[in-house]
């Protein structure tokens, strides 16, 4: 059962936390960390049961990602990003899943989805070229999802623009080392990938609009509610879950360190009402973020399972709240970080790594509040969303 995955994560938790330092130094997840994640089964939660997955409720996926990130932010981030990809594969032509998991059900798939390449139509498919940064966990993946603009035959995007999600095997792209030198989430190994004229058969592609609206699955005969959820609800889920889990882990470390800390005034921190007030408030804010994020994806799941359409207003509400969850949790982390004492800045203090990881996670485009809040306000007024806002809702 899916809940067993979280139990295994907690069992491996102390080791995951110990390995976090090594992951940061390596600039990618260590092989030992990856072995623990594979053993726990986190990245198979959204994978079809036919290929050894759990086809779990997205709530279970979010809770597992949070559990990992609570011990190691980078490992949680990779679980949140890479763990969504089996969900999308399940919506595609069945040949894709067979190619990926037919021989190894623990095969991982990287991304990113930003349309940084041009896919020129050719007989039977497309020829793709481009360069994509931020491919999290890519060293441990054998396939990659990439976003691409359909070309006009002359190396330029067609008009009007059309965006595809395409999937390629490891032999068709190059990982560029030394492209991940960052201040946080260093252990994610989110390196650049390059594709130079790779052929992609049509069946390994899916239209972004169709997967965003939850329509791709139906076209391939997939009926489970899980695989008919909107991409714009599912993709942000893993990323925000990682950020909330990071903040939960930071709170754990803060409380453990403050328990016996003596301030420069000679007063034990446990007797300082101001520090304790901040810790209590932060705990409430982080807990509220967890609850609201899970509530949003659960509501969408229930609507889809009941055969009800998910309106633009409802999708925009889920996105608005998802963004706010991340900002609320990181703001709470800032409050306790500022009251953790001077030793918090030392490299061997785990709290500073959680703090850096959380802020880098907050910088992901899926957490930019402007467009999400703007779109939700228009939707609540019953007004039409312009195309540039609809694409993220």
Question: What DSSP line would sit under 321-365, residue for residue?
Answer: HHHHHHHHHHHHHHHHHTTS-GGGGSTT-HHHHHHHHHHHHHTSG
Residue 221 covered by a domain = no
Mean pLDDT of the chain: 95
Reported as a single tens digit per residue, the pLDDT across 278-296 is: 999 999 999 999 999 999 9
CATH number at residue 197: 2.40.110.10
- Domain of 10, in residue numbers: 3-101
In this predicted structure, what is the pLDDT of residue 219? 87
Check which CATH number belongs to the domain holding 267 and give it.
1.20.140.10
Q: Is residue 240 part of a domain?
A: yes
Q: What is the pLDDT of residue 1?
A: 64
- pTM (two decimals): 0.97
Q: How many domains in the chain?
A: 3
| pLDDT for residue 264 is more than 70 | no
Q: Please compute the mean of the pLDDT values over residues 187-208 and round it to a whole number.
A: 98
* 352 and 242 assigned to the same domain: yes
Do 175 and 69 share a structural domain? no
* 113-161 tens-digit pLDDT: 999 999 999 999 999 999 999 999 999 999 999 999 999 988 889 999 9
Q: Is 27 found in the same domain as 159?
A: no
pLDDT over 70 (residue 62): yes
Q: What is the DSSP letter of 385?
A: P
pLDDT exceeding 90 applies to what percent of the chain? 88
Inter-CA distances, 228 with 10, 85, 98, 159, 212, Å: 30, 14, 20, 28, 10
Residues 339 and 367 in one domain: yes
Confidence band, pLDDT 50/70/90 cuts, at residue 268: confident
Tell how far CA 223 is from the center of its chain.
24
Asked whether residue 233 falls in the same domain as residue 316, the answer is yes
Same domain assignment for residues 35 and 118: no
Higher pLDDT, 171 or 220: 171
Q: Are residues 45 and 84 in the same domain?
A: yes
CATH number at residue 78: 1.10.540.10
For residue 174, give the 3-state DSSP assignment.
strand
Res 260: pLDDT: 86
């Amino acid at each position: 059962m899916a809940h067993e995955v979280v139990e295994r994560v907690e069992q491996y938790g102390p080791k995951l936390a110990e390995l976090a330092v090594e992951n940061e130094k390596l600039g990618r997840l260590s092989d030992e960390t990856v072995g623990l994640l594979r053993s726990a089964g986190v990245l198979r939660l959204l994978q079809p049961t036919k290929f050894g997955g759990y086809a779990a409720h997205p709530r279970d996926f979010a809770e597992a990602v949070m559990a990992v990130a609570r011990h190691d932010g980078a490992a949680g981030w990779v679980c949140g990003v890479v763990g969504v990809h089996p969900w999308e594969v399940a919506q595609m032509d069945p040949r894709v899943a067979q190619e990926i998991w037919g021989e190894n059900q623990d095969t991982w798939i990287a991304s990113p989805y930003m349309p940084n390449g041009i896919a020129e139509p050719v007989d039977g498919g497309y020829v793709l070229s481009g360069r994509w940064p931020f491919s999290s966990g890519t060293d441990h993946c054998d396939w990659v999802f990439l976003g691409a603009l359909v070309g006009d035959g002359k190396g330029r995007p067609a008009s009007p623009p059309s965006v595809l999600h395409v999937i390629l095997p490891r032999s068709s792209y190059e990982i560029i080392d030394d492209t991940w030198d960052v201040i946080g989430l260093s252990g994610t190994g989110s390196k650049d990938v390059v594709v130079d004229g790779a052929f992609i058969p049509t069946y390994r592609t899916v239209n972004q609009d169709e997967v965003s609206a939850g329509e791709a699955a139906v076209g391939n005969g997939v009926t489970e509610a899980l695989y008919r959820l909107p991409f714009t609800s599912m993709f942000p889920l893993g990323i925000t879950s990682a950020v909330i889990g990071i903040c939960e882990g930071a709170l754990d470390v803060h409380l453990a360190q403050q328990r016996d800390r003596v301030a420069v005034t000679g007063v034990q921190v446990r007797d300082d009402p101001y520090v304790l007030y901040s810790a209590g408030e932060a705990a409430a804010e982080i807990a509220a973020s967890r609850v609201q994020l899970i509530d949003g994806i659960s509501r969408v799941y229930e609507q889809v399972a009941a055969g009800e359409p998910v309106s633009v207003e409802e999708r925009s509400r889920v996105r608005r709240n998802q963004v706010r969850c991340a900002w609320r949790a990181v703001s709470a982390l800032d409050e306790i970080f500022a009251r953790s004492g001077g030793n918090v800045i030392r490299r061997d203090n785990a709290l500073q790594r959680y703090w850096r990881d959380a802020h880098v996670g907050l910088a992901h485009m899926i957490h930019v509040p402007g467009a999400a809040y703007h779109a939700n306000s228009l939707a609540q007024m019953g007004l039409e969303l312009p195309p540039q806002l609809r694409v993220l809702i």
